[in-house]
Amino acid sequence: MTSPALSYPEGSAAFPHESLVGIGGLAPHEILFLLDEAEQWVELNRHPQKHDDRLTGLTIINAFFENSTRTLLSFEIAGKRLGADVVNMHVAQSSIKKGETLIDTAMTLNAMHADAIVIRHGSSGAVQLIADKVDCPVLNAGDGQHEHPTQALLDALTIRHALRNKTGGSFNGLTVTLCGDILHSRVARSNILCLTSLGAHVRICAPPALIPADIEAMQAEVFHDFDAALDGADVVMMLRLQLERMQGQFIPSAREYRHLFGLTAERLARARPDALVMHPGPMNRGVEIDSDVADLADRSHITRQVEMGVAIRMACLDVLTRKVRRVEGWT
Amino acid sequence: MSAAPPLTITNGKLVLPDGEVRDGALRCADGHIAALGDEEPQPGDIVHDAQGKLVTPGLVDLGVFTIDKPAFHFGGITRAALMPDQSPPLDIPARVRFAASSGKPDFWVHPLAAATRGLEGTELAEIALMRDAGARAIATGRAWIADSGTMLRVLQYAAMLDMVVCTHAEDSGMTGSAVATSGEIATRLGLPSAPAEAEPLAIARDIALAEFAGARLHLRQVTTARGLDLVRAAKDRGVAVTAGTTPAYFMLSDLALAHFRTFAHLSPPLRCEADRKAVLDAVRDATIDVIASSHDPRGPEDKRLPFADSAPGMAGAETLLPLTFNLVRDGVITTSRAIELLATNPARILGVNAGHLALGAEADIAVIDPDKPWIVDSSEMAARAGNTPFDKQPVQGRVLALFKGGMRVGAKQAPS
């Protein structure tokens, strides 16, 4: 289990950031460094004895101000596999309900000498706000509609694994189509930043009301016709339709949405024959993605994404705590 | 009221309503301007030597959210129109009466009567009773009145009372819970946003209704090119419409939101660069009549929050004067036009005998050094809170002395 140090600047120069707040601000080689770091954990996680002790004695707090099942579980497993003491703070049990401000909560966590804090919050910028106030590394597990960097990293890792034989692991020239509620999606923003930074071409597809203004400035190509957006795509990433937040304001109904933007087997045929199907989950089967597509054995990488998620989060926790662990070259 | 001895301000550059800036003196007696020109102080007068600096009317701030005397006095403001968005709102005569007397004697508050009960945009408030209790104009508050029928009735009633209606022009159906203007910045930050078109939509409706009702309309903050085009066109055909803005909208664009800076969270939200330039042009060509501070000091409990959860607004009283005088230095406007925007026009809209250096006007006088440099520091403001998006910015223009009704008030002295 060694770092892929050879291809990167020495020590902390490979990843000089204190926290992981977003993909925005990361250089392409820093993204690749995290992906390469994660490879060792992909391997480890496939062993029956999947444990490493490098974070022994460190305390990691998962502070989730917004409900989450899979991301929280993924971060918890990642921390535990590296030997850290992992504590989960759920919003329902927190003082936020009693009117405590976010900053006060952050200062409380800080005073407990956490060695890393993983935060999910419903407001864009909340994680940056906390990162500016606490002494330890902060990992963004999703802030409002802003960023969800570990999701983008795990998606990139999934693509790289799946296309290793085809492209040799390069993202150059890949066409990735993202379809769904781009407007409200932090996953979409992080993925656009990550994939374009690595050289892929990103298409986004949604009805106009779900496309953020001037998204072209982020190098994404906008489509409203899903068939056209799929044409020749190497990767098709579906986003969850957040029905609970729409209330008829953005789309008339789930079945009408499926009619225009649902990934059916028929539509998928417009993409490249070996195109990957991805979805960050949880899926609305029969709405944005049909079951027979989601379950395609050789094409759907949805469970692979979950697997890569644990590895990526292990890599992020490892890299960001190297300073406190006084790893050589990282102090 | 004032038993103070007469005051003569000598050796000043008087900024006169005819657009001239003339060397001379100004004498005040009984709280009013008694003489202008080459006056010599009379025996018993208090004499203030202006040392060749500008002598102007005290600024009249059309639209503030808090009475914050230290900040107003620092900024040369002697009168402010208080927005009805208080807690509780200014929607009954007793509260208006209280607010109207709350600054005296060294500061005058002109309450703006809530157009509707509770500022809810549905039922008319007791506007005439509030007028008689001291309200100088009517305001819709922080929000637009979405219901056109209600707005029409407000305007018709205001026309009958000959009161101006100050409106916040943003179509609330479009803005929803937006905290930013749609565009690249809001998209990158993932902030709830609404298109800038929310403003011209609201302005178009309000102008149409005001024209129909024969009412006077004041658009408190116009921030977009298309909104200003509508105002320009309405003025050209003689509609009784006036427009205001605040320095933020000609100094800043939505780039200021980067890093989720909540001090740049304003309402309306900061716009794109093209709109910023359009506001500048509108100040130049007199489409904009008023520059106000929209003073709204907010402490950390309102501002040290994630952007969308923070309260909008900025502490603007102290920077109103220097940022407006930026435009004089940049050749956008003249000194006397700056005073027109900051004092004369707002006083005229409110119908108060102030805001100009004329015989018989209230002796609200500021002595201003328009070039004196200083640095805005959010941690050392006179205002109740330091939420300024201009923190650490070098500016020029400082009030050296301030007089309300002919009496010197506690303007914070510039360090010498």
The answer to whether the CB atoms of A125 and B195 lie below 8 A apart is no
φ, ψ dihedrals at B56, nearest 5°: -130, 165
Tokens 């022009």 belong to B169
Among residues B350, B380, B399, the one where a domain terminates is: B350
The answer to whether the CB atoms of A213 and B183 lie below 8 A apart is yes
Contacts of A145 in chain B (CB under 8 A): 190-192
Note whether A249 contacts B: Cβ–Cβ < 8 A.
no
Note whether A279 contacts B: Cβ–Cβ < 8 A.
no
In a domain, B374, yes or no: yes
Q: Verify that B153 and B291 share a domain, yes or no.
A: yes
Q: Locate A270 and state its tokens.
A: 């417009």
Among residues B301, B328, B350, the one where a domain terminates is: B350
In the prediction, which pLDDT does A4 show? 57
Q: Verify that B134 and B204 share a domain, yes or no.
A: yes
Gap from B279 CA to chain A (nearest CA, Å): 22
pLDDT in tens, B283-314: 999 999 999 999 999 999 999 999 999 999 99
Of B184, B191, B308, the CB nearest to A214: B184
Among residues B350, B371, B399, the one where a domain terminates is: B350
In a domain, B62, yes or no: yes
Nearest residue in B to A102, CA atom: B305
Contacts of B192 in chain A (CB under 8 A): 145
Three-class DSSP labels, chain B: CCCCCCEEEEEEEEECCCCCEEEEEEEEECCEEEEEECCCCCCCCEEEECCCCEEEECEEEEEECCCCHHHHHHCCEEEEEECCCCCCCCCCHHHHHHHHHCCCCCCEEEEEEECEHHHCCCCECCHHHHHHCCCCEEECCCCCCCCHHHHHHHHHHHHHHCCCEEECCCCHHHHCCCCEECCHHHHHHCCCEECCCHHHHHHHHHHHHHHHHCCCEEECCCCCHHHHHHHHHHHHCCCCEEEEECHHHHHCCHHHHHHHCHHHCCCCCCCCHHHHHHHHHHHHCCCCCEECCCECCCCHHHHCCCHHHCCCCECCCCCHHHHHHHHHHCCCCCHHHHHHHHHHHHHHHHCCCCCCCCCCCECCEEEEEEEEEEECCHHHCCCCCCCCCCCCCEEEEEEEEEEECCEECCCCCCCC
In the prediction, which pLDDT does A102 show? 87
The answer to whether the CB atoms of A215 and B187 lie below 8 A apart is yes
Q: Hey, is A237 helix, strand or coil?
A: strand
Of B190, B195, B300, the CB nearest to A124: B190
Q: Verify that B253 and B339 share a domain, yes or no.
A: yes
The answer to whether the CB atoms of B186 and A126 lie below 8 A apart is no
Q: Verify that B260 and B293 share a domain, yes or no.
A: yes
Of B186, B193, B308, the CB nearest to A123: B308
The answer to whether the CB atoms of B304 and A103 lie below 8 A apart is yes
Q: Locate A266 and state its tokens.
A: 């028929």
In a domain, B311, yes or no: yes
pLDDT in tens, A128-145: 999 999 999 999 999 999
Contacts of A103 in chain B (CB under 8 A): 300, 304-305
Contacts of A124 in chain B (CB under 8 A): 189-191, 260, 306-308
pLDDT in tens, B344-377: 999 999 999 999 999 999 999 999 999 999 999 9
Q: Decide if pLDDT at B411 tops 60.
A: no
Cα gap A67→B278, rounded to integer Å: 44
Q: Decide if pLDDT at B135 tops 80.
A: yes
In a domain, B103, yes or no: yes
Are residues B169 and B222 in contact, defined by beta-carbon separation less than 8 angstroms?
A: yes
What ranges in A163-231 are assigned the alpha helix state H? 164-167, 186-197, 226-230
Q: Considering chain B, what percentage of its residues have pLDDT values greater than 70?
A: 98
Are residues B221 and B231 in contact, defined by beta-carbon separation less than 8 angstroms?
A: no
Are residues B84 and B154 in contact, defined by beta-carbon separation less than 8 angstroms?
A: no
Residues A96-100: contacts with CB under 8 Å, at least 24 apart:
A96/A65
In the prediction, which pLDDT does B2 show? 46
Q: How confident is the model at residue A168 (pLDDT cuts 50, 70, 90)?
A: confident
Side chain identity at residue A282, one-letter code: P
The answer to whether the CB atoms of B182 and A121 lie below 8 A apart is no
Cα gap A81→A310, rounded to integer Å: 9
Contacts of A24 in chain B (CB under 8 A): 188
Q: Verify that B236 and B256 share a domain, yes or no.
A: yes
Note whether A126 contacts B: Cβ–Cβ < 8 A.
yes
Q: Decide if pLDDT at A272 tops 60.
A: yes
Which region among A63-72, A239-248, B78-87 has the lowest average model confidence (pLDDT)?
Answer: A239-248
In a domain, B262, yes or no: yes
Q: What is the pTM of this model?
A: 0.93
Tell me how many domains chain B contains.
Answer: 2
Q: Verify that B104 and B156 share a domain, yes or no.
A: yes
The answer to whether the CB atoms of A103 and B193 lie below 8 A apart is no
Q: Verify that B213 and B315 share a domain, yes or no.
A: yes
Cα gap B376→B391, rounded to integer Å: 5
In a domain, B1, yes or no: no
Are residues B16 and B24 in contact, defined by beta-carbon separation less than 8 angstroms?
A: no
Mean confidence (pLDDT) of chain B: 96
Q: How confident is the model at residue A91 (pLDDT cuts 50, 70, 90)?
A: confident
Q: Decide if pLDDT at A259 tops 70.
A: yes
Are residues B222 and B172 in contact, defined by beta-carbon separation less than 8 angstroms?
A: no
Nearest residue in A to B184, CA atom: A214
The answer to whether the CB atoms of B306 and A124 lie below 8 A apart is yes
Q: Verify that B197 and B250 share a domain, yes or no.
A: yes
Residue B343: give the domain boundaries. Answer: 58-350
In a domain, B357, yes or no: no
Which region among A6-20, A188-202, B94-108 has the lowest average model confidence (pLDDT)?
Answer: A6-20
Contacts of A102 in chain B (CB under 8 A): 305-306, 309
Q: How confident is the model at residue A68 (pLDDT cuts 50, 70, 90)?
A: confident
Q: Locate A92 and state its tokens.
A: 């329902």
Q: Which residues pair with A139 in a beta bridge?
A: A20, A118
In the prediction, which pLDDT does A43 show? 96
Are residues B115 and B145 in contact, defined by beta-carbon separation less than 8 angstroms?
A: yes
pLDDT in tens, B160-218: 999 999 999 999 999 999 999 999 999 999 999 999 999 999 999 999 999 999 999 99
pLDDT in tens, A199-208: 999 999 999 9
Cα gap B180→B190, rounded to integer Å: 10
Of B186, B304, B306, the CB nearest to A213: B186
For strands A201-205 and A175-179, give the pairing: parallel
pLDDT in tens, A203-251: 999 999 999 999 999 999 999 999 999 999 999 999 998 776 665 678 8
Could you tell me the CATH number of the domain that includes residue B133?
3.20.20.140
The answer to whether the CB atoms of B190 and A213 lie below 8 A apart is no
Name the residue among A160, A130, A161 with its Cα closest to residue A143.
A130
Cα gap B349→B164, rounded to integer Å: 7
In the prediction, which pLDDT does A169 show? 86
Q: Decide if pLDDT at B414 tops 90.
A: no
Q: Verify that B47 and B72 share a domain, yes or no.
A: no
Q: How confident is the model at residue A1 (pLDDT cuts 50, 70, 90)?
A: very low
Contacts of B308 in chain A (CB under 8 A): 123-125, 144
For strands B59-64 and B54-57, give the pairing: unpaired
In a domain, B355, yes or no: no
Q: How confident is the model at residue B23 (pLDDT cuts 50, 70, 90)?
A: very high
Q: Verify that B119 and B236 share a domain, yes or no.
A: yes
Q: Is A187 left (phi over 0), alpha (psi -120 to 50) or beta?
A: alpha
**Alpha carbons within 13 A on the beta-carbon side of A192:** 28
Taking CA A127 as the corner, what is the angle to CA A124 and CA A130, rounded to the nearest 5 degrees?
Answer: 130
Q: Which residues pair with B35 in a beta bridge?
A: B27
Could you tell me the CATH number of the domain that includes residue B38?
2.30.40.10
Which of B260, B262, B275 is most worth mutating to test chain A (most A CB atoms within 10 A of its CB)?
B260
Q: Verify that B46 and B65 share a domain, yes or no.
A: no
Note whether B260 contacts A: Cβ–Cβ < 8 A.
yes
Q: Verify that B264 and B376 share a domain, yes or no.
A: no
